[in-house]
């Protein structure tokens, strides 16, 4: 792989051992994918996690003197103080690893947004920007909806990109790799944000390859939340780092443009029957619920407003958690949504993830309701059962303490 003199100097240790290690990893990735060169990035997002391997890696870079050349935004952590006050006393080992992880990322130069949807408010790349984003909803959003360019980075490779300011040029950074190869004809009705959850879960069940798909038959532009839901599920049920919607997404003004003038490799059809099958497979049977949880990915202010509208003047029968960014929580307070949710007995907690093990122990082995298949899937390992329904139906179920249908 051809390196510039600056890149050679990074690799040789001129900028310190930490940068040299990060560049060694980036070069290794490039060689694995047969990249011809490195390219500069303008932004990064790191899907940090309060887990041993993540902490070990960032501290290894720190101890070798690494600092971020491109400050990345980062994924959620845990609001320790809030959960200690309102849920349970988080065990010391959980507090220790969360605190150490947060401090390590602060010291290495990350921007501590603690949000898994930076592409909605804090870290929004423009069309054509080369970036390094990890996080399962973020990569398809920036590639598909915004037209920026990122491969599906791991948290480690994204951090190395932030330290060096470089990524290897391969995959979705190249024009030819961004063209669609799978045509997906959607005859099912796709009208709501929740419909995109189901569609995103359904497609990888029908085609398990890594090729870029182009979806046809969708007439109305999804909301930002619909796009967010779609990408999150495509990258949970499967591994789709980029997609096109013909006539809607920026690199697909037409089906032919999405395909780049080439024939498609395979044609897939998604019918109403297919979505019904997904509902039956993942959404769960009605029944009593112990808690409600929303925010995987983090909820937007529009979704928070929808929750507050349903809860106005009501009281919840179960624990009720809304997870979002600190910016959205602040805005919810200014708009009165926070107060409405709190009066109903619910919580809006910022900077916190549904998938951080020390967080949610009181719900292990219990049943919740959520609008997010990703949330349900991630918590299977903790024996938490989720019934999945559209957002409004979830809130109504939390008022009753039971999912009726």
Tens digit of pLDDT for each residue in 151-169?
999 999 999 999 999 999 9
pLDDT for residue 357 is more than 80: no
Q: 377: how many CB neighbours lie within 10 A of its CB?
A: 18
Q: At 402, is the secondary structure helix, strand, or coil? A: strand
Over residues 278-303, the pLDDT tens digits come to 999 999 999 999 999 999 999 999 99
CATH class of 283-403: alpha beta
Q: What is the predicted pLDDT for the residue at 149?
A: 98
CA angle 178, 184, 188 (to 5 degrees): 140
Q: What is the predicted pLDDT for the residue at 395?
A: 98
Q: Is the peptide bond before 297 cis (omega within 30 degrees of 0)?
A: yes
**pLDDT band at 262; cut points 50, 70, 90:** very high
For the entire predicted model, the pTM comes to 0.96
Over residues 221-234, the pLDDT tens digits come to 999 999 999 999 99
**Alpha-carbon dihedral sign for residues 236, 238, 242, 248:** negative
For CATH 3.30.499.10, the residue range(s) in the chain are 5-174, 283-403
Residues 244 and 251: their CA atoms lie apart, in Å, by: 7
Helix ranges restricted to H, 188-335: 193-206, 224-237, 255-259, 272-282, 301-311, 326-335
Q: What is the predicted pLDDT for the residue at 191?
A: 96
The continuous run of DSSP H or E covering 299 comes out as: strand 291-299
Q: What is the predicted pLDDT for the residue at 356?
A: 78
Q: What is the predicted pLDDT for the residue at 243?
A: 98
Query: What residues does 368 pair with on adjacent strands?
Result: 291, 386
The continuous run of DSSP H or E covering 161 comes out as: helix 155-164
Tokens of 184: 């997906």
Over residues 129-152, the pLDDT tens digits come to 999 999 999 999 999 999 999 999
Helix ranges restricted to H, 109-146: 118-121, 138-140
Q: What is the predicted pLDDT for the residue at 87?
A: 96
pLDDT for residue 387 is more than 80: yes
**pLDDT band at 355; cut points 50, 70, 90:** confident
pLDDT for residue 358 is more than 90: no
**pLDDT band at 311; cut points 50, 70, 90:** very high
**pLDDT band at 50; cut points 50, 70, 90:** confident
Helix ranges restricted to H, 210-271: 224-237, 255-259
CATH architecture, range 5-174: 2-Layer Sandwich (3.30)
Contact yes or no for 147/127 (Cβ under 8 A) = yes
**Letter string b/e over residues 28-49, b meaning 16 or more CB atoms within 10 A of that residue's CB:** ebbeeeebeebeebebbbbbbb
Q: What is the predicted pLDDT for the residue at 245?
A: 98
pLDDT for residue 194 is more than 90: yes
Residues 64 and 391: their CA atoms lie apart, in Å, by: 46
Mean pLDDT for the chain?
Answer: 97
**Alpha-carbon dihedral sign for residues 66, 161, 46, 119:** positive
pLDDT for residue 405 is more than 90: no
**Alpha-carbon dihedral sign for residues 134, 255, 181, 168:** negative
CA angle 41, 44, 46 (to 5 degrees): 145
The continuous run of DSSP H or E covering 297 comes out as: strand 291-299
Nearest of 42, 228, 238 to residue 138 by alpha carbon: 228
Contact yes or no for 68/162 (Cβ under 8 A) = yes
Q: What is the predicted pLDDT for the residue at 319?
A: 98
């Amino acid at each position: 792989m051809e390196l510039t003199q600056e890149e050679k100097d990074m690799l040789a240790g001129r900028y310190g051992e930490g940068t040299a290690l990060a560049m060694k990893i980036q070069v290794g990735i490039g060689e694995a994918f047969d990249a011809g060169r490195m390219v500069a990035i303008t932004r990064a997002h790191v899907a940090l996690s309060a887990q041993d391997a993540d902490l070990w890696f960032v501290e290894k870079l720190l101890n070798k003197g690494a600092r971020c050349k491109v400050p990345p935004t980062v994924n959620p952590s845990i609001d320790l103080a809030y959960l200690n006050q309102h849920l349970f006393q988080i065990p010391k080992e959980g507090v220790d690893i969360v605190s150490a992880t947060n401090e390590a990322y602060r010291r290495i130069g990350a921007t501590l947004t603690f949000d898994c949807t930076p592409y909605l408010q804090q870290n929004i790349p423009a069309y054509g920007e080369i970036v390094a984003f990890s996080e399962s909803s973020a990569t398809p959003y920036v590639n598909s909806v915004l037209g920026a360019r990122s491969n599906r980075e791991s948290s480690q490779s994204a951090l190395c990109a932030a330290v060096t300011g470089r990524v290897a040029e391969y995959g979705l950074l190249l024009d030819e790799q961004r063209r669609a190869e799978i045509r997906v004809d959607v005859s099912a009705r796709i009208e709501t944000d929740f419909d995109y959850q189901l569609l995103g879960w359904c497609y990888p069940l029908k085609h398990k390859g890594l090729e870029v798909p182009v979806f046809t038959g969708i007439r109305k532009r999804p909301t930002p939340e619909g796009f967010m839901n779609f990408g999150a599920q495509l990258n949970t049920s499967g591994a789709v780092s980029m997609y096109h919607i013909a006539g809607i997404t920026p690199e697909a003004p037409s089906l032919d443009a999405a395909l780049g003038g080439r024939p498609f490799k395979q044609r897939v059809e998604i019918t109403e029957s297919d979505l019904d099958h997904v509902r039956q497979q993942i959404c769960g049977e009605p029944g009593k619920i112990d808690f409600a949880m929303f925010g995987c990915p983090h909820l937007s202010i529009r979704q928070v407003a929808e929750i507050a509208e349903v809860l106005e003047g009501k009281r919840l029968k179960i624990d009720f958690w809304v997870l979002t960014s600190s910016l959205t929580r602040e805005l919810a307070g200014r708009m009165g949504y926070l107060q409405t949710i709190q009066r109903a007995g619910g919580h809006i907690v910022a900077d916190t993830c549904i998938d951080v093990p020390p967080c949610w122990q009181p719900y292990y082995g219990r049943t919740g309701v959520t609008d997010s298949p990703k949330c349900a899937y991630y918590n299977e390992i903790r024996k938490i059962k989720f019934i999945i329904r559209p957002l409004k139906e979830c809130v109504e179920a939390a008022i009753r303490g039971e999912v009726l249908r």
